[in-house]
Structure 1
Amino acid sequence: MIRTEELTKVYDGVKAVDSLNLTVEKGEVFGFLGPNGAGKTTAIGMMVGLLEPTGGKCFVNGIDVTKNPLEVKKITGYLPDGVGFYPNLTAVQNLKYFSRFYGMKDSEAETRIKGLLEYVGLGNVDKPVGSYSRGMKQRLGLAQALLNDPDVLFLDEPTNGLDPQGVIQFRKIIKEQAEKGKTVFFSSHILDEVQHVCSTIGIISKGVLVARGTTDEVRKKMSKDETVTIIVKVKGDMPRMSDPRIINAVYNNGSAVIQASDDIRDAISEELFSKNMRVRELRLEEKSLEEIFLETVYRSE
């Protein structure tokens, strides 16, 4: 549904986005993760046809975004970071204005707008948008992005300004859109937000895509650890393990913290069984994706 080929944007000799190659399939919820200034907004700007690439191409549902930006806009919805509306108009009036860009009939637009405002939690709000909080504007921005019932949703930092209830509602809406077969591409610098709703993620740093896949795949790819840490607890005194792949081990009464060159839990289990030891716990201690993300991305900035 979304495909980029060597997509590049250069500002004053600096590559804001550097040769981005990315594919997002239909119905996929893709999280584009990176620190502020990593190139997320610039990349999305090229994907939705607001910025012309310095090099490379982007296709949405097979349509070349640069050559046919209006065709792409018909099938996409976009919530920018810092969405803007006419402050003297109400939510209904703003959305009614935008509906004309899609050629919607007034009766069709009115029905669609009423349903969307209920959907995002603004159904009973009837005041000028200029008096809205940032969170309310984000909700209205999401309604605008959904106005044309798009096949693809691009959301740039969509939970900025939302209260906890709004964040939960946002997650629910994203999941519902994906269940309808829509493709969702959203950026964030908040890892927890991405992990809650995304089937796959991509991490960008200094304009370069450094990892892509499921959260487990990305964690393994980005981890710099060459050893495996295994926690063992037994009933009784913990015996010394003899596996040659053990690099270091710290024993303490009925437990041990073992560093090994590989995942040797099966071998440990067999050795303990042969020594008539009852295993109470045997697990890998892995760094979280957040820890790895901080180590490999933020510390390199």
Structure 2
Amino acid sequence: MIKTENLTKVYDGVKAVDSLSLHVEKGDVFGFLGPNGSGKTTTMGMMIGEIEPTSGQCLIKGIDVLRHPLDVKKIIGYMPDGLGFYENLNARQNLKFFSQFYDIPADKAEKRITELLEYVGLAGVDKKTEGYSRGMKQRLGIAQALINDPEVIFMDEPTNGLDPQGVMQVRNIIKDLSSQGKTIFFSSHILEEVRQVCRTIGIISKGRLIAQGTLDEVRHKMQKEDFVTIVVKAPGTVPTISSPDIIDASYDNGTAVIRARSDIRDEISDQLTRNGVCIRELSIREKTLEEVFLQTVYGGARDEARGHSGGERV
């Protein structure tokens, strides 16, 4: 449904987006992650036809965005991070204005607007948008993105700055849109949002796509360590385990954490069994997506990735 091929954008000799190729299937919720300045917004701008690429192309449902921008705009919806509404108008009036860009007949537009206001929880709200909370504006932004009943929806930081209730409302709307068969391209800095709503993700850093796939696939692709972390738990004290493959190990009462060059769990099990140790746990500890991401993109500097909204920012 969404396909880019070597999509590139150069500003003053600097590649903001560098040969980015990705593919998003129909009906997928795709999370686009990356630190500030990584090229997320520029990429999305090229995908919706607001920014002309230096080279490469983007296809939406097989339509070239650059060559046929009007055809593409008929089937996509866009919710920007910086929402802009006419503050002297109410929600219905704003949506009516935007409906005119799609040549929707007045009677059909009124019906569609009524349905959308009900859908996003703004039915009966008549006050001007200047008095809207951040959450209300976000929900109106979703309604605006849906005014033409698009097949593909682009959302740039849709939960940014929302309180927990607002986040849950937007999250539920995204899940519902996905259940309707809509394809959603979801840009966010917050890993938890990606875990909650996205099926597949792409990681961008310094303008380059460094991984794409399911959450587990991306975690494995990005994990660069050439050792295995093995956790051993037993009642009492875990005796010292010896093996030429062991890099280092730490022992704390009934727990041992071992870094080894390979999976030596069978060897560990044999040693402990011969010593009469009852094994409670013998497992491999895998890093979380967050840990792998921070190590790959930030070099493990967690504090650099914290935002001011209370969530983990990456």
Structure 2 matches for 1:107-256, cutoff 5 A? 107-256=107-256
Question: 1:63–1:232: structure 2 CA closer, same or farther, 3 Å change rule?
Answer: same
Structure 1 residue 101: Cα displacement: 2.1
Task: Give 1:7-26 correspondences, 5 Å limit.
Answer: 7-26=7-26
Distance of 2:224 and 2:70 partners within structure 1: 44
TM-fit CA distance, 1:72? 0.6
Residues 21-62 of structure 1 deviation map (CA, whole Å, 9 limit, x = unaligned): 111111111110011111111100110111111100000000
Give the Cα separation in 2 of the matches to 1:125 and 1:30: 32
Q: After superposition, what is the alpha-carbon deviation per residue over 1:53-98, rounded to whole angstroms, capped at 9, x for unaligned? A: 1100000000000000111111111001102111111100111121
User: How far apart are the structure 2 equivalents of 1:229 and 1:34?
Assistant: 27
| Aligned pairs (5 A) from 1:68-83 | 68-83=68-83
Letter in 1 for 2:224: K
Judge conservation of contact 1:6–1:20 (CA < 8 Å) in 2. yes
Please state how far the C-alpha of 1:162 moved relative to its aligned partner: 1.9
In structure 2, runs of 5+ residues without a counterpart are 305-314
CA deviations on 1:216-237 (whole Å, 9 max, x unpaired) are 2222222232211111111244
Aligned residue for 1:84, secondary structure, equals coil
**1-structure distance, mates of 2:265, 2:144:** 52
Q: How much does 1:283 deviate?
A: 2.7
1:44 maps to what in 2? 44
* C-alpha distance in 1 between matches for 2:109 and 2:11: 40
Residue by residue, what CA displacement relative to the aligned partner does 1:238-283 show, whole Å, maximum 9, x if unpaired?
2343444322223344321111112333443455445543222223
Q: Residues 135 and 160 of structure 1 are in contact (CA less than 8 Å); yes or no, is this contact kept in structure 2?
A: no
Mean Cα deviation higher: 99-108 or 202-211: 99-108
Contact 1:229 1:285 in 2 (8 A): yes
RMSD: 2.0
1:30 corresponds in structure 2 to: 30
In 1, Cα distance between the equivalents of 2:180 and 2:291? 34
When structure 1 is superposed on structure 2, of 263-272 and 195-204 the one drifting more is 263-272
Secondary structure of the residue aligned to 1:167 is helix
Shift of 1:206: 1.3
Q: Which residue of 2 aligns with 1:62?
A: 62
Q: Does the C-alpha gap of structure 1 residues 125 and 297 become closer, same or farther in structure 2, counting only changes over 3 Å?
A: same
Conserved 8 A contact 1:138-1:160: no
1:83-139 Cα offsets, whole Å, 9 max, x none, are 211111110011112112223222322222122122222223211112223332111
Q: Which moved more, 1:104-113 or 1:205-214?
A: 104-113
SS in 1 for 2:279: strand
SS at match of 1:10: strand
Q: What CA deviation, in whole Å up to 9, does each residue of 1:161-213 have, x standing for no partner? A: 32211111111111111122211101112222212111111111111111111
Query: Aligned in 2, Cα 1:253/1:134: closer, same or farther, shift over 3 Å?
Result: closer
Matched ranges for 1:85-100 at <5 A: 85-100=85-100
Query: How many angstroms apart in 2 are the aligned matches of 1:188 and 1:253?
Result: 42
Aligned equivalent of 2:311: none
* TM-score normalised per structure 1: 0.93
Do the aligned residues in 2 keep the contact of 1:250 with 1:256 (CA within 8 Å)? yes
Flag structure 1 segments of 5+ consecutive residues without an equivalent.
none
TM-score, scaled relative to structure 2:
0.89
Q: By how many angstroms is 1:10 displaced? A: 1.0
Contact 1:138–1:161, Cα closer than 8 Å, also in 2:
no
Of 145-154 and 126-135, the range deviating more from structure 2: 126-135
The size of the alignment, in residue pairs, is 301
Identity of aligned residues (%): 65
The change in CA–CA distance for 1:247 and 1:298 in structure 2 (over 3 A counts) is closer
Closer/same/farther in 2, CA of residues 271 and 146 from structure 1, 3 Å limit: farther
1:253 & 1:94 partners in 2: Cα distance?
65
